[in-house]
Amino acid sequence: MKKAVIIGAGMTPVGEHWKLALRDLAVEAVFNAMDDAGIDKVYSLYVGNMISGPFVEQENLGSLIADWAGLGNIPAVKIEAACASGGAAVQEGVKAVLSGLEDVVAVVGVEKMTDAWPNDATRYLAYAADAEWELFHGASFVALNALVMRYYMKTHGYTEEDLALFAVNAHTNGAKNPYAMFKRSIKLETVLKSPYIADPLKLFDASPVCDGAAAVIITTPEKAKELGVPKEKWVEVAGMGRAIDTINLANREDLLTLKAAKIAAERAYKMAGVEPKDIDFFEIHDAFTIMAALSLEALGVAKKGDGAKLAREGQIAIDADYPIQTMGGLKARGHPVGATGVYQTVEAVLQLRGEAPNQVPNAEVGLTQNIGGTGSNITVTVLRRV
Amino acid sequence: MSRPMQVSRYWRHFREKYRLIGGKCENGHVHFPKRPICPVCGSREIEEVELSGKGKVLSWTIIRNPPSGFEYYKPYPLALIELEEGPIVLAQLTDIDPEEIDFGMEVEVVTKKIREFEEDGIILYGYKFRPPVK
Ligand SMILES: [Zn+2]
List the single residue in A140, A150, A248 with the smallest CB-CB distance to B65.
A140
Residues of chain A with Cβ-Cβ distance to B126 below 8 Å are 136-137
Residue range A201-222: mean pLDDT, rounded: 98
Q: State the pLDDT at residue B2.
A: 44
Q: Active-site residue among A17, A171, A285, A335?
A: A335
What spacing in Å lies between the alpha carbon of A253 and ligand 1's midpoint? 14
- Residue B63, φ and ψ in degrees, nearest 5: -85, 120
- The domain A5-117+211-235 is placed in CATH, from the list 3.40.47.10, 3.30.450.20, 1.10.150.20, 3.20.20.140, at 3.40.47.10
For the CA atoms of chain B, what is the radius of gyration? 16
pLDDT tens string A291-342:
999 999 999 999 999 999 999 999 999 999 999 999 999 999 999 999 999 9
- The separation between the first and the last C-alpha atoms of chain A, rounded to the nearest angstrom, is 16
Residues of chain B with Cβ-Cβ distance to A201 below 8 Å are 61
Cβ atoms of residues A311 and A165 within 8 Å: yes
Q: State the pLDDT at residue B1.
A: 47
Residue B8 pLDDT exceeds 90: no
pLDDT tens string A63-116:
999 999 999 999 999 999 999 999 999 999 999 999 999 999 999 999 999 999
pLDDT tens string B28-70:
999 999 999 999 999 999 999 999 999 999 999 999 999 999 9
SS (H, E, C) chain B: CCCHHHHHHHHCCHHHHHHCEEEEECCCCEECCCCCCCCCCCCCCEEEEECCCEEEEEEEEEECCCCCCCHHHCCEEEEEEEECCCCEEEEEECCCCHHHCCCCCEEEEEEEEEEECCCCCCEEEEEEEECCCC
CB contact under 8 A, A195 and B13: no
**Positive/negative CA dihedral, B61, B63, B66, B72:** positive
Q: Active-site residue among A83, A171, A210, A285?
A: A83
Beta carbons within 8 Å of B134's beta carbon, 6+ residues apart: none
A278-to-A26, A275, A383 alpha-carbon distances in Å: 34, 5, 12
pLDDT-wise least confident of A248-252, A379-383, B114-118: B114-118
CB neighbourhood size of B48 (10 A):
12
Residues A273-306 as b/e (b if ≥16 CB within 10 A, e otherwise) read: ebeeeebbbbbbbbbbbbbbbbbbbbbbbbeeee
Residue B5 pLDDT exceeds 70: no
- Rounded to two decimals, what is the model's pTM? 0.97
A335 catalytic residue (yes or no): yes
Q: What percent of chain A has pLDDT over 70?
A: 100
What spacing in Å lies between the alpha carbon of A144 and ligand 1's midpoint? 27
For chain B, give every domain's residue range: 7-130
Residues of chain A with Cβ-Cβ distance to B71 below 8 Å are 119
B122 band by pLDDT with thresholds 50, 70 and 90: confident
Domains A5-117+211-235 and A118-208+238-385 in one fold: yes
Residue A10 pLDDT exceeds 70: yes
Residue B4 pLDDT exceeds 60: no
> For the domain B7-130, what is the CATH code?
2.40.50.840
B10 band by pLDDT with thresholds 50, 70 and 90: confident
- Residue A76, φ and ψ in degrees, nearest 5: -150, 130
Residues of chain B with Cβ-Cβ distance to A207 below 8 Å are none
For chain A, give every domain's residue range: 5-117+211-235, 118-208+238-385
Within 13 Å and on the Cβ side, how many CA atoms surround B123? Answer: 6
CB contact under 8 A, B87 and A250: yes
- Residue A142, φ and ψ in degrees, nearest 5: -60, -45
Residue range B5-14: mean pLDDT, rounded: 82
Cβ atoms of residues A188 and A161 within 8 Å: yes
Residues B94-117 as b/e (b if ≥16 CB within 10 A, e otherwise) read: bebeeeebeeebebebeeeebbeb
- Cα B99 off chain centre by: 21
Q: Which residue has the higher pLDDT, B119 or B21?
A: B21
What spacing in Å lies between the alpha carbon of B44 and ligand 1's midpoint? 8
SS (H, E, C) chain A: CCCCEEEEEEECCCECCCCCCHHHHHHHHHHHHHHHHCCCCCCEEEEECCCHHHHHCCCCHHHHHHHHCCCCCCCEEEECECECHHHHHHHHHHHHHHHCCCCCEEEEEEEECCCCCHHHHHHHHHHHCCCCCCHHHCCCHHHHHHHHHHHHHHHHCCCHHHHHHHHHHHHHHHCCCCCCCCCCCCCHHHHHHCCEEECCEEHHHECCCCEEEEEEEEECHHHHHHCCCCHHHCEEEEEEEEEECCCCHHHCCCCCCCHHHHHHHHHHHHHHCCCHHHCCEEECCCCEHHHHHHHHHHCCCCCCCCHHHHHHCCCCCCCCCCCECCCCHHHHCCCCHHHHHHHHHHHHHHHHHCCCCCCCCCCCEEEEEEEECCCCEEEEEEEEEC
CB contact under 8 A, B61 and A120: no
A154-to-A160, A285, B102 alpha-carbon distances in Å: 11, 22, 11
pLDDT tens string A141-200:
999 999 999 999 999 999 999 999 999 999 999 999 999 999 999 999 999 999 999 999
pLDDT tens string B58-117:
999 999 999 999 998 899 999 999 999 999 999 999 999 999 999 999 999 999 999 988
Residue type, A343: Y
Bridge-based pairing state of the strands A211-219 and A235-244: unpaired
Q: Indicate the average pLDDT of chain A.
A: 97
Distance in angstroms (rounded) separating the CA atoms of residues B10 and B31:
21
Q: State the pLDDT at residue B119.
A: 77
Distance in angstroms (rounded) separating the CA atoms of residues A21 and A51:
14
- The domain A118-208+238-385 is placed in CATH, from the list 1.10.287.3510, 3.40.47.10, 3.90.650.10, 3.40.50.920, at 3.40.47.10
Residue B3 pLDDT exceeds 80: no
Cβ atoms of residues B66 and A198 within 8 Å: no
Q: What percent of chain A has pLDDT over 90?
A: 99
pLDDT tens string A124-147:
999 999 999 999 999 999 999 999
A137 catalytic residue (yes or no): no
Mutate: best of A207, A245, A251, partner B, most B CBs <10 A? A251
